[in-house]
Chains A and B, each alone.
Chain A
Amino acid sequence: MSAPYGPMRAIDILDLYFIENRSRIMDIASFLDRIDRYEGADEAKADFRYQAFLQILDITRDTPRDRAKAVQVALSDPTTEPLDSALGMKAYGAWKGAAK
């Protein structure tokens, strides 16, 4: 990390961003509740995206620093070989291969 870059202190950052990020946690909590409330919750919770989501929540809480990068890496395809074809392929936001 570079040298201090502004007149703000950590407590100022907490003050500036606390409310909006508190609200984001509510969005996440209610998103998980919503899945539980709807028909077929077990199926959704077995989906690789749900599993990845739980994993990044843990990473966010348990990683001591560079959390954003750790979350990004956890969601990324770690392989190195090119795909034979991209036809009909799309991105999901989490790596499907991790579920196998």
Chain B
Amino acid sequence: MMFIDPHAHMISRTTDDYEAMAASGVVAVIEPAFWLGQPRTNAGSYLDYLSSIVGFERFRASQFGIRHYCTIGLNSKEANNEALAEAVMELIPRFALKEGVVAIGEIGYDEQTALEDKYFRLQLELAKELDLPVMIHTPHRDKKNGTSRSMDVCVEHGLDPGKVVVDHNNEETVREVLDRGFWAGFSIYPSTKMGNARMVEILRQYGANRVIVDSACDWGISEVLAVAKTARLALQTGIPEDQVRLACYQNALEAYGQSGQMKEEDWLNPQAIDQRAVYEGNSILRGGREPVVGQTPNRRGMDNLIIE
């Protein structure tokens, strides 16, 4: 079974994680631009970060047989530093048009301040202008109101809910998001967001239409195999296979495929892995390590549902 992890901060993960993801059936990941655990003090850091997610990280993933896409945006936490935010907003349009960028995101609210609101709206306008999908980060505190408000603002700016993924949902927010026609993302992240047993219950109760499962894995305690493990648990507990496929693969492809930057052929007809390839003259093979060449990743068919 093939999976997409549509929310994974791979720059904070290891090559071991890429290998494990590929082995579990993950064929593509989407890396949303976000906060780094510390506030950036200047736009120069932002520029290098955006360059790394559209370039070096994409290259690093390809060396393990995984297609890497990203979203570009100013996150809500750093929107509160106005000088930084202004400078970053200058950078965003040119990065948003690069190859492999599938949405504007993750944008939205953190503490629901006036500055967060300002830059959220500016970026929604940009998404509309560039005709790109949007990935919304919903706040951890006051989640229910923050989620409703995020959708209100999208509607106010005339965005099509079918092009907006509202992420980090839980039992409290799922109904409204689905009822209003948005895509509903769920981050299976230990301790703080959602466990996968709860996720399976949501699938049972609401079905998988417009539901998207992701890991949101990053530099914190998180699980790169969250999508594959959720799929397996769902299958084991009797969720129909077509529903699992929607939530763990197809819906992400439908939602972000609207960018025109993400197609199934990208991984169905992959190039063989060639670690001799270089990125701007630089290899991932530090210190003369041996390249792995020509080992086409093992794509598991639908007949082999159990991930071991």
Contact = CB atoms under 8 A, between A and B. Distances in A.
Contacts of B288: 91, 93
A49 to B, nearest CB: 12
B301 interface: no
B216 to A, nearest CB: 36
Interface residues on A, range: under 10
A90 interface: yes
Interface in B14-29: none
Interface of B: 281, 283, 288
A93 B289 CA distance: 10
A13 B164 CA distance: 64
A82 interface: no
Contacts of A90: 281, 283
Contacts, number: 5
A90 B285 CA distance: 12
A64 B283 CA distance: 36
Nearest to B283: A90
Interface of A: 88, 90-91, 93
Contact of B281 (A88, A91, A93): A88
A93 B288 CA distance: 7
A88 B288 CA distance: 17
Contacts of A93: 288
A52 B288 CA distance: 16
A88 to B, nearest CB: 6
Contacts of A88: 281
Contacts of B281: 88, 90
B183 to A, nearest CB: 44
Contacts of B283: 90
5 contacts: A88-B281, A90-B281, A90-B283, A91-B288, A93-B288
B295 to A, nearest CB: 15
Nearest to B288: A93
B8 to A, nearest CB: 30
A88 B283 CA distance: 12
B175 to A, nearest CB: 56
Nearest to B287: A91
A91 B281 CA distance: 11
Nearest to B282: A90
A91 B285 CA distance: 11
Q: Tell me which of A88, A90, A93 has the highest count of chain B C-beta atoms within 10 A of its own C-beta.
A: A90
User: What 5 A-B pairs come out closest when comparing CB atoms?
Assistant: A93-B288, A88-B281, A91-B288, A90-B281, A90-B283
A20 B283 CA distance: 29
B158 to A, nearest CB: 49
A62 to B, nearest CB: 24
A26 B283 CA distance: 27
B259 to A, nearest CB: 34
A93 B283 CA distance: 14
A88 B281 CA distance: 7
Nearest to A93: B288
A90 B281 CA distance: 8
A93 B276 CA distance: 14
A9 B283 CA distance: 42
A61 B6 CA distance: 54
A72 B283 CA distance: 22
B131 to A, nearest CB: 38
Nearest to B278: A90
A93 B27 CA distance: 33
B258 to A, nearest CB: 40
A9 B59 CA distance: 48
